[in-house]
């Protein structure tokens, strides 16, 4: 499908209609709109608000400065599909049966954040620029409207109107995603909305169109890949900042909670002695798992502050539900509400002493236990350049066997290994549900009606 490109001209007028006074179901009245933005592969330590010295993210920095910023947040997997499945369900990826690339889908038996919000009166809209979250993998469940990526990876089967990624195709840009969102929200005036967008602009392999004003920035960095990554962040920050600024300026839209995070990180050049460590999905070092988390709500009375307690993305869904006043059912979710941290009424909430992340994709199979100071990793794929067991400090560069301390600090590794054994008994592998690539007729019709598909 071809989506007309364009900038956000007239966006404010369009969004005026989407932010009309809530007159829908009684249970939804007065609740804030929620926008959840995931920027693919975005590392927090490359943002100004997290201490990066380059001006990569002034718009995101401003939102953080006037909102709540979590200093340290870990995702539960280092690649997109399992990570986002975990975010939306507040469950560990293994219990969802999401492990590898291919036709594994998010099964209907798992309730998503969108399903809960829709049941409570929200209009739910999801748009993904990353094909790993297309409706073919059942990530559309719970959404009144869901817009797929119209470009799929080479190993995927294209649906109707979709093309495979090549040198002549590109995925939807952030302005295109926001333009579609504005067009859909124009028609919804009765209910508060939940907007979920997954932007692929900061993905290292994404062909991102950089504005002339940013195209030659960061020339002081010697590596081309590094320069390009920073330019992508700068472009995405600008696009996101414009969208949020236009939205919140409209009457009725002040009551909107904006949540900014990422699905995972990116290795970049932090692990020079570990093969294939520059990307993501294969390793479980901090560069791959640590993500930003920023909450901004002008009308919500949030006192700007920084949360120092380390949190997890698995905690995000219960936090959002708690924030908008929707009680969750604790029996079928793992995460903990962080509302007290968001509101600033507590400096800490009760979270597990250790946290677990894992990845299984291709021939890789790894699982890690994190504490405040350490990470214990089991490399179960027997990759030749890595030890079977690793203990890495979180205060120094993690560089495979060259920074491994398991022999020097067995008293640290032993309880983490014992915890992992108990954790795996508590959370055994879930049943895999497989799906087939489907033609997204509903998505095509929706876009045609809005004039975005020709």
Surface-to-core class of residue 284, CB atoms within 10 Å of its CB (0-12 exposed, 13-18 middle, 19+ buried) = buried
The answer to whether residues 169 and 163 touch, using CB atoms and an 8 Å cutoff, is yes
pLDDT of the residue at 330: 59
**pLDDT tens digits for the chain (454 residues)?**
444 444 443 444 444 445 655 555 544 568 999 999 999 999 999 999 999 999 999 999 999 999 999 999 999 999 999 999 999 999 999 999 999 878 899 999 999 999 999 999 999 999 999 999 999 999 999 999 999 999 888 888 888 889 998 877 888 999 999 999 988 987 776 899 999 999 999 998 777 889 999 999 999 998 989 999 999 999 999 999 999 999 888 777 889 999 999 999 999 999 999 988 888 989 999 999 999 999 999 888 899 999 999 999 999 999 999 999 997 665 678 999 999 999 999 999 999 999 999 999 878 899 999 999 999 999 999 887 889 999 999 999 999 999 999 999 999 999 999 999 999 999 999 999 998 644 344 444 544 443 333 3
CA distance 77 to 277: 15
Q: Taking Cα atoms as reference points, which of 410, 401, 408, 351 lies closest to residue 379? A: 401
444-450: which pairs have CB atoms within 8 A and are 24 or more residues apart? 444/1, 444/160, 444/161, 446/145, 446/147, 446/184, 447/1, 447/3, 447/147, 447/180, 450/180, 450/183, 450/184
CA distance 223 to 161: 37
CA distance 189 to 15: 10
Q: Taking Cα atoms as reference points, which of 87, 73, 96, 68 lies closest to residue 335? A: 87
CA distance 286 to 371: 12
The answer to whether residues 137 and 435 touch, using CB atoms and an 8 Å cutoff, is yes
pLDDT of the residue at 9: 38
Expressed in angstroms, the distance from the first to the final Cα of the chain is 8
Distance of CA 255 to the CA centre of its chain: 22
pTM for this predicted structure: 0.91
Q: Taking Cα atoms as reference points, which of 272, 334, 342 lies closest to residue 306? A: 342
Surface-to-core class of residue 291, CB atoms within 10 Å of its CB (0-12 exposed, 13-18 middle, 19+ buried) = buried
pLDDT of the residue at 315: 97
CA distance 322 to 185: 24
Question: Strand pairing partners for 296?
Answer: 258
CA distance 203 to 233: 9
What tokens does 411 get? Answer: 């008293």
Tell which phi-psi region holds residue 252, choosing left (phi > 0), alpha (psi between -120 and 50) or beta: left
What does the domain layout of the chain look like in residue ranges? 31-348, 363-426
pLDDT of the residue at 16: 45
The answer to whether residues 78 and 357 touch, using CB atoms and an 8 Å cutoff, is yes
Q: Taking Cα atoms as reference points, which of 193, 138, 131 lies closest to residue 162? A: 131
The CATH-assigned architecture of domain 31-348 is 3-Layer(aba) Sandwich (3.40)
448-454: which pairs have CB atoms within 8 A and are 24 or more residues apart? 450/180, 450/183, 450/184, 451/4, 451/183, 452/3, 452/4, 452/179, 452/180, 452/183, 453/1, 453/2, 453/3, 453/161, 454/2, 454/4
Q: Taking Cα atoms as reference points, which of 357, 354, 373 lies closest to residue 365? A: 357
* DSSP SS3 for 351: coil
CA distance 417 to 376: 7
């Amino acid at each position: 499908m071809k989506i007309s490109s364009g900038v956000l001209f007239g966006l404010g007028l369009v969004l005026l209609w989407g932010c009309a006074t809530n007159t829908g179901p009684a249970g939804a009245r007065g609740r804030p709109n929620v926008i959840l933005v995931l920027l693919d592969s975005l590392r927090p330590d490359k943002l100004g608000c997290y201490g990066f010295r380059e001006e990569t993210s002034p718009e995101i920095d401003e939102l953080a400065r006037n909102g709540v910023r979590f200093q340290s947040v870990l995702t539960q997997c280092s690649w997109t599909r399992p990570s986002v499945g975990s975010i939306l369900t507040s469950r560990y990826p293994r219990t969802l049966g999401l492990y590898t690339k291919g036709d594994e889908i998010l099964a209907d038996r798992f309730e998503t954040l969108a399903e809960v919000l829709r049941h409570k009166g929200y209009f739910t809209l999801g748009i993904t620029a990353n094909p790993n979250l297309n409706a073919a993998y059942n990530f559309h469940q719970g959404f009144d409207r869901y817009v797929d990526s119209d470009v799929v990876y080479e190993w995927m089967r294209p649906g109707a109107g979709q093309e495979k990624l090549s040198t002549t195709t590109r995925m939807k840009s952030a302005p295109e995603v926001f333009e579609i969102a504005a067009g859909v929200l124009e028609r919804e005036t009765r209910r508060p909305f939940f907007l979920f967008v997954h932007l692929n602009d900061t993905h290292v392999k994404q062909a991102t169109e950089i504005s002339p004003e940013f195209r030659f920035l960061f020339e002081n960095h010697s590596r081309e890949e590094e320069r390009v990554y920073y330019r992508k962040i700068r472009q995405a920050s600008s696009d996101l900042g414009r969208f949020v600024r236009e939205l919140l300026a409209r009457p009725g839209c002040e009551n909107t909670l904006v949540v900014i995070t990422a699905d995972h990180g990116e290795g970049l050049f932090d692990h020079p002695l570990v093969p294939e460590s520059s990307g993501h999905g294969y390793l479980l070092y901090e560069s791959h798992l640590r993500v930003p988390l920023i909450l901004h709500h002008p009308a919500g009375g949030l006192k700007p502050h920084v949360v120092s307690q380390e949190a997890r993305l698995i905690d995000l869904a219960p936090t959002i539900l708690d924030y908008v006043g929707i009680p969750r059912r604790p029996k079928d979710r793992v995460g903990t509400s962080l509302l007290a941290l968001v509101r600033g009424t507590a400096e800490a909430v009760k979270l597990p002493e250790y946290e677990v992340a894992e990845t299984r994709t291709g021939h890789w199979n790894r699982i890690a236990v994190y504490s405040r100071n350490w990470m214990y990793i089991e490399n179960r794929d027997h990759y030749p350049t890595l030890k079977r067991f690793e203990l890495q400090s979180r205060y120094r560069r993690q560089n495979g066997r060259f920074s491994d301390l398991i022999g020097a600090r067995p008293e640290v590794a032993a309880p983490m290994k014992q915890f992992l054994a108990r954790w795996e008994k508590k959370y055994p592998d879930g049943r895999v549900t497989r799906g087939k690539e489907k033609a997204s007729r509903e998505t095509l019709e929706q876009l045609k009606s809005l004039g975005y598909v020709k």
